[in-house]
């Protein structure tokens, strides 16, 4: 009896995770692969359409626009995030006043719900009554159409997303910085390296693995941009903040194009994988 229990208990212990994985990961993945070849609006039965969904994808201008928007978001968000996070981490790693307070403060937005933050920033970005514009006006500057100008809206969202996530990357960089032995800096100081040269030639190469991890994490995070435009702009104005994820969501739950939405998801997943692989190759070349 005991032997039987010993054999079975490991499986019981991991079963909640396995059930979760099966129900919410494996099943949807397999199901969406099946859906790729079908047309389905949830109510009527599935209809086999072969590769029609793919044909549609390649001629869907809006999807390509959403993809482009997502890249714009990432191109603003990732460099901004890395530079700010590294900058903050660098100073939080020094002996400054109230260091633990600042460390906690920068991390706060990470744990607050994205919905809450988006609503908060919607207020801040308000055209007439938003705090930011009111400050600009009181400084004698022109107000900015943060969310209503199609050329600016995506950048506004990228700034907000950076504010939300930067704390996490500050922590990651702090951990990275703390692994660099003090004596490296002391050796460099004796050799005559300025603070910037020490940062450039010692710190950056030493935390290269952390930078790579941050780039990958924020790339994946950036590609899944959804809550912010969904709540703030619903993809507008003129579809300028329509992210790929938001478009996929709309295809599925706005128009009930389940088959087409699944096709987009899979295509999008392949693109993300491609980008990450390219980044990895790039970083590895840098190391050698």
Partner 1 sequence: MASVKFNQVTKSYGKQEVIQSTSFEIQDKEFVVLVGPSGCGKSTMLRMIAGLEEITTGTIEIGDTVVNKLPPKDRDIAIVFQNYALYPHMTAYENMAFGLKIRGMSKSVIEEKVMKAAKILDIEDLLDRKPKAMSGGQRQRIAIGRAIVRNPKVFLFDEPLSNLDAKLRGQMRLEISLLHKKLQATMVYVTHDQVEAMTLGDRIIVLNKGVIQQIDTPQNLYNHPTNQFVAGFIGSPTMNFMKGKIYQEDEIEVFISEDQSFRLSLNTVYGLNPYQNVILGIRPEHIFSSQTLLKNPLQFQAEVRWVELLGHEGFAFFDLGGQQLSARLRADELKDPPFSKKLYIEGERLHIFDADTGLNLM
For binding to partner 1 (CB under 8 A), which residues are involved? 181, 183-184, 186-193, 197, 201-202, 205-206, 208, 287
| Min dist. Cβ of residue 178 to partner 1 (A) | 16
Cβ closer to partner 1: 16 or 192? 192
> Distance between CA 98 and CA 113 in Å, rounded?
26
Find, among 131, 119, 103, the residue nearest to 160 by Cα.
119
Cβ closer to partner 1: 142 or 183? 183
- Classify residue 25 by its DSSP letter: I
| Min dist. Cβ of residue 283 to partner 1 (A) | 13
Cβ closer to partner 1: 211 or 248? 211
Q: Count Cβ atoms within 10 A of the Cβ of residue 86 and give its class: 0-12 exposed, 13-18 middle, 19 or more buried.
A: buried
| Min dist. Cβ of residue 193 to partner 1 (A) | 5
Beta strands in 24-142 (DSSP E): 38-39, 47-48
Cβ closer to partner 1: 74 or 188? 188
Q: Where are the alpha helices (DSSP H) in 59-98?
A: 61-92
Are 222 and 77 a contacting pair, CB within 8 Å?
yes
39 bridge partner residues: 47
Cβ closer to partner 1: 15 or 197? 197
| Min dist. Cβ of residue 156 to partner 1 (A) | 38
Residue with tokens 């997943």: 269
CA 1: distance to chain centroid? 50
38 bridge partner residues: 48
| Min dist. Cβ of residue 85 to partner 1 (A) | 21
Cβ closer to partner 1: 181 or 274? 181
Task: Give me the phi and psi of 287, to 5 degrees please.
Answer: -70, -30
| Min dist. Cβ of residue 175 to partner 1 (A) | 17
Cβ closer to partner 1: 115 or 187? 187
> Distance between CA 210 and CA 218 in Å, rounded?
12
Please calculate the CA angle 180-181-183 and round it to the nearest 5 degrees: 135
Record the tokens describing residue 276, joined without a space: 């990450």
| Min dist. Cβ of residue 288 to partner 1 (A) | 10
| Min dist. Cβ of residue 58 to partner 1 (A) | 44
Cβ closer to partner 1: 128 or 287? 287
Record the tokens describing residue 10, joined without a space: 């490991």
> Distance between CA 259 and CA 32 in Å, rounded?
8
């Amino acid at each position: 009896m005991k032997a039987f229990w010993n054999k079975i208990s490991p499986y019981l212990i991991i079963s909640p995770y396995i059930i979760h994985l099966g129900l919410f990961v494996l099943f949807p993945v397999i199901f969406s692969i099946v859906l790729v070849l079908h047309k389905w609006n949830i109510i009527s039965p599935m209809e086999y359409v072969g590769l029609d969904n793919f044909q549609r994808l390649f001629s869907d201008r809006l999807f390509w626009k959403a993809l482009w928007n997502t890249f714009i978001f990432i191109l603003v968000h990732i460099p901004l995030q890395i530079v700010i996070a590294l900058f903050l981490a660098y100073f939080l790693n020094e002996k400054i006043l109230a260091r633990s307070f600042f460390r906690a403060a920068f991390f706060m937005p990470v744990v607050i719900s994205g919905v809450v933050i988006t609503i908060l920033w919607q207020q801040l970005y308000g055209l007439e009554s938003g705090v930011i514009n009111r400050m600009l006006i009181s400084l004698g500057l022109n107000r900015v159409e943060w969310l209503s100008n199609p050329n600016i809206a995506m950048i506004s969202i990228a700034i907000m997303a950076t504010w939300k996530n930067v704390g996490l990357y500050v922590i990651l960089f702090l951990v990275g910085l703390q692994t660099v032995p003090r004596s490296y800096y002391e050796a460099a100081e004796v050799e005559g390296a300025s603070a910037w040269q020490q940062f450039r030639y010692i710190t950056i190469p030493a935390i290269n693995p952390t930078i790579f991890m941050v780039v990958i994490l924020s790339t994946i995070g950036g590609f899944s941009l959804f809550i912010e435009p969904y709540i703030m702009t619903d993809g507008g104005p003129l579809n300028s903040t329509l992210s790929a994820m938001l478009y996929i969501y709309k295809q599925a739950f706005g128009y009930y194009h389940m088959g087409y939405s699944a096709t987009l998801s899979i295509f999008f997943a392949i693109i993300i994988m491609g980008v990450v692989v390219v980044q990895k190759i790039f970083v590895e070349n840098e190391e050698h």
